[in-house]
């Protein structure tokens, strides 16, 4: 059973999400919160598998709540999915940087939302190649950034660094395999090892580390 915490300042949105999950086998609603502070408190109390987190809320917003949840050792197994109204929400990258496993638009079809929750529960990330490319494009177009290499970057082999850079470009494991002329299984192994060495929670955080370290 996958437990989900619903966080949104709109009662109607939470009601819609609860109705959807209550009618889906294998899911249970762990609780609800209408702001970021309530989200953190509810997460600590219920230890949900996934938090569906709105960003723009009064008081403590979803960005800060995501940061607090991701920073807590007792919530290390909890994954956060950011819910936004606009695909190019300026907070998306910051949410990923603070530990979110990806983001979805609020008009995402119900079946896609259910699939997304299962994906992050299984350790995946909600960053499609096209979304990754869009995000990176927006970040590099900003003012010049200071590169801060990840403290464990030196543990990566040359091939792993190359693979991380390709992940940050939005390539799938299959596309990485084709680019490097290796099998998809080998590409997947390189990605997994890089994630372990860098302490990345998922593929989304690997993209963030690549960007911050100057690999993207």
Distance CA 103, CA 106 (A): 9
How many Cβ atoms sit within 10 Å of the Cβ of residue 193?
16
pLDDT at 141: 60
Query: Is 80 exceeded by the pLDDT of residue 93?
Result: no
Alpha carbons within 13 angstroms on the beta-carbon side of residue 69 total 39
Contact assessment for residue 31 and residue 6, using Cβ atoms and an 8 Å cutoff: yes
R_g (Cα) of the chain, nearest Å: 17
pLDDT at 88: 57
For the stretch 133-191, pLDDT in tens is 566 566 556 555 567 888 898 999 999 999 999 988 878 888 899 999 999 899 989 99
- Orientation of helix 129-140 relative to helix 203-212, angle to 10°: 20
Contact assessment for residue 173 and residue 184, using Cβ atoms and an 8 Å cutoff: yes
Considering only 112-121, 137-146, 196-205, which range has the smallest mean pLDDT? Answer: 137-146
- The SS3 call for residue 118 is helix
- The SS3 call for residue 5 is strand
pLDDT at 174: 86
For the stretch 53-62, pLDDT in tens is 998 888 899 9
Position with higher pLDDT, 130 vs 125: 125
Query: Is 70 exceeded by the pLDDT of residue 87?
Result: no
Contact assessment for residue 59 and residue 68, using Cβ atoms and an 8 Å cutoff: no
Q: Counting runs of H as helices and runs of E as strands, what totals does the chain give?
A: 10, 5
Domains of the chain: residue spans and CATH: 2-126 (3.40.50.2300), 138-212 (1.10.10.10)
pLDDT at 207: 81
pLDDT at 216: 73
Q: Which of 111-120, 121-130, 178-187 has the highest mean pLDDT?
A: 178-187
Q: For residue 96, what pLDDT band results from cuts at 50, 70 and 90?
A: confident
Whether the model clears a pTM of 0.85, i.e. scores above it, the answer is no
């Amino acid at each position: 059973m996958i437990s989900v915490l619903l966080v949104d300042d709109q009662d109607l949105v939470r009601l819609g999400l609860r109705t959807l999950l209550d009618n889906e086998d294998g899911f249970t609603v762990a609780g609800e919160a209408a702001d970021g502070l309530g989200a953190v408190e509810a997460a600590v109390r219920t230890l949900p598998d996934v938090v569906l987190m709105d960003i723009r809320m009064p008081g403590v917003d979803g960005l800060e709540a995501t940061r607090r949840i991701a920073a807590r050792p007792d919530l290390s197994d909890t994954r956060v999915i950011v819910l936004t109204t606009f695909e190019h929400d300026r907070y998306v990258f910051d949410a990923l940087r603070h530990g979110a496993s990806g983001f979805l638009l609020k008009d995402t079809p119900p079946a896609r939302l259910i699939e997304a929750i299962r994906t992050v529960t299984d350790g995946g990330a909600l960053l499609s190649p096209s979304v990754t490319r869009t995000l990176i494009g927006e970040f590099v177009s900003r003012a010049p950034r200071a590169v801060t290499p990840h403290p464990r970057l030196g543990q990566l082999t040359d091939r792993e660094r190359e693979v991380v850079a390709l992940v940050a470009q939005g390539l799938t494991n299959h596309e990485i395999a084709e680019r490097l002329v290796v099998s998809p299984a080998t590409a997947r192994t390189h990605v997994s090892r890089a994630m372990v060495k860098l302490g990345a929670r998922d593929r989304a955080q690997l993209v963030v580390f690549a960007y911050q370290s100057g690999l993207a």
